[in-house]
């Protein structure tokens, strides 16, 4: 794709916009950058880019460009993009733009939950196998930054959000990973079907020479790629785990409890998806097992803090909404003492009660919504309300028998008592390490 002499307009000047602008400049284009923000937002934009702060739709209608590159944070189907697209030869996103100048192999990862952990696992395995595997896209660095490197990696682990997938045209993952699907981003999409259609675009350009790694039971159309399955419910899947050991072809491949800090059925799924993707690229089971030895998930995402008196303590502080709490709770294979609560966001926790009845031995609530949560949850499970996280940890320990899990998965934001989920999770970690 030659950009010499062409006008490339970058819409949105965050990190991905700056990377796309730098790549367009490298390829000989005339580059302009547009954003509704003021001039300060353009700091770090490469020299040589024409900047247009405070850009309104009226200016977009006048713009003539060969290509408009849209940042993922901007609604592709909104009036702002429509204005800037009026006289554009083509409208794509930064990920699609970068892919046109990348010569290596793409492992694309999408799903409603688990994308980042799976992307990290794939990066770790491919790096160990000397195949590159740099994490980029929705997680890690922008894809365009990877392409700009003097020696780009042979393979990338490209996390793809629905927003990024909306604008792909030619991007083709040699391996596409579909983790799961659940309603999300309904503030951006007119329907669940529209959100699902955006996600399904990850398979758009795959051929029979490619591989699709998919979770058993997902409602997917007929795929052109060879399908590899993983499951925590169907032993007949290509990759199977009951939540503790990963099996493939009748062979035990990885003991999650012994060899890693990954816990829960959802993390077993993430690990199996990573194994399936990397095996498709020729990585041996031995090398994959070596790569994940000692692996711990990212902080605040079902992070195993310690095991004390036979009780595991998991930090899932990043669960700031009901869907994340439900996912964490559903994934547990041991009796759970749930710690939940925080800021009042007006959420309806009622639909969670059947799962609590199934999974939780007890619940400890804290923070601004401690009392109303306790009143609701006590209908199906023993529940205690306390003031703060320190009291919650102490109470949870007193309620947790050997063989159980104390799970901090608040289900709401932290801004009643903390500056963010990170501070909340770090406080939980400190409190658990202080237990004797």
Catalytic positions: 115, 138, 185
Per-residue H/E/C for 240-256: EECCCEEEECCEEEEEH
Hey, how many other C-beta atoms are within 10 angstroms of the C-beta on 394?
Answer: 14
Residues 6+ apart with CB under 8 A from 80: 11, 36, 57, 60, 74
Copy the structure tokens of residue 218.
Answer: 């997902």
Nearest by Cα to 31 from 54, 14, 47, 15:
47
The DSSP bridge partners found for residue 247 are 240, 252
Q: With 0-12 CB in 10 A as exposed, 13-18 as middle and 19+ as buried, what is 389?
A: buried
Q: Which residue has the tokens 């804290």?
A: 366
Element (H, E) at 135: strand 134-137
CA distance 380 to 377: 6
Looking from the CA of 257 toward its CB, the CA atoms found within 13 Å total 13
Q: Which residue has the tokens 């993009």?
A: 81
| DSSP character at residue 208 | T
The DSSP bridge partners found for residue 210 are none
Q: To the nearest 10°, the Cα dihedral for 372, 378, 381, 387?
A: 50
Q: Which residue has the tokens 């983790």?
A: 179
For β-strands 245-248 and 360-366, DSSP reports them as unpaired
Q: Is 32 helix (H, G, I), strand (E, B) or coil?
A: strand
Q: In what order do the strands lie in the sheet with 336-341?
A: 303-308, 311-315, 405-408, 336-341, 360-366, 382-385
- Which runs of consecutive H residues, i.e. helices, occur in 169-321? 192-200, 256-259, 265-280, 285-292
Q: To the nearest 10°, the Cα dihedral for 158, 216, 201, 276?
A: 30
Copy the structure tokens of residue 363.
Answer: 């619940």
The DSSP bridge partners found for residue 228 are 213
């Amino acid at each position: 794709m030659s950009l010499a002499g062409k006008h490339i307009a970058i819409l949105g000047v965050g990190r991905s916009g700056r990377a796309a602008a730098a790549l367009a400049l490298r390829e000989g284009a005339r580059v302009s950058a547009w954003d509704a923000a003021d001039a300060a937002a353009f700091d770090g934009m490469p020299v040589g880019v024409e900047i247009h702060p405070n850009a309104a739709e009226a200016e977009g209608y006048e713009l003539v460009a060969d290509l408009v590159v849209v940042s993922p944070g901007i609604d592709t189907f909104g009036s702002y993009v429509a204005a800037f697209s009026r006289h554009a030869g083509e409208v794509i996103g930064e990920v699609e733009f970068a892919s046109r100048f990348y010569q290596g192999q793409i492992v694309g990862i999408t799903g409603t939950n688990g994308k980042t952990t799976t992307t990290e696992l794939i990066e770790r395995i491919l790096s160990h196998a000397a195949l590159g595997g740099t994490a980029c896209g929705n997680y890690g660095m922008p894809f365009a930054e990877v392409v700009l490197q003097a020696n780009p990696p042979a393979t990338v682990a490209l996390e793809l959000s629905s927003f990024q997938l909306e604008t792909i045209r030619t991007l083709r993952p040699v391996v596409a990973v579909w983790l799961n699907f659940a309603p999300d981003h309904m503030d951006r999409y007119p329907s669940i079907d529209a959100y699902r259609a955006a996600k399904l675009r990850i398979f758009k350009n795959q051929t029979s020479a490619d591989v699709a790694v998919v979770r058993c039971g997902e409602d997917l159309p007929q795929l052109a790629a060879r399908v590899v399955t993983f499951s925590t419910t169907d032993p007949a899947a290509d990759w199977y785990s009951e939540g503790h050991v990963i099996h493939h072809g009748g062979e035990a491949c990885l003991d999650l409890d012994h060899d890693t800090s990954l816990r829960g059925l959802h993390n077993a799924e993430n690990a199996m998806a990573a194994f399936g993707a990397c095996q498709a690229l020729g990585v041996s089971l031995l090398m994959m097992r070596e790569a994940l030895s000692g692996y711990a998930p990212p902080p605040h995402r079902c992070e195993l803090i310690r095991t004390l008196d036979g009780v595991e303590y998991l930090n899932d502080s990043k669960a700031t909404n009901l869907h994340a709490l439900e996912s964490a709770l559903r994934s547990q294979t041991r009796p759970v003492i749930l710690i939940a609560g925080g800021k009042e966001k007006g959420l309806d926790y009622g639909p969670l009660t059947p799962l609590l009845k199934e999974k939780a031995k007890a619940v400890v609530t804290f923070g601004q919504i401690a009392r109303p949560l306790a009143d609701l949850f006590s209908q199906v499970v023993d529940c205690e309300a306390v003031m703060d996280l320190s009291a919650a940890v102490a109470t949870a320990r007193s309620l947790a028998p050997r063989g159980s899990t104390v799970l901090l998965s608040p289900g709401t934001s932290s801004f009643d008592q903390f500056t963010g989920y990170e501070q909340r999770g770090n406080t939980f970690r400190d409190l658990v390490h202080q237990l004797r």
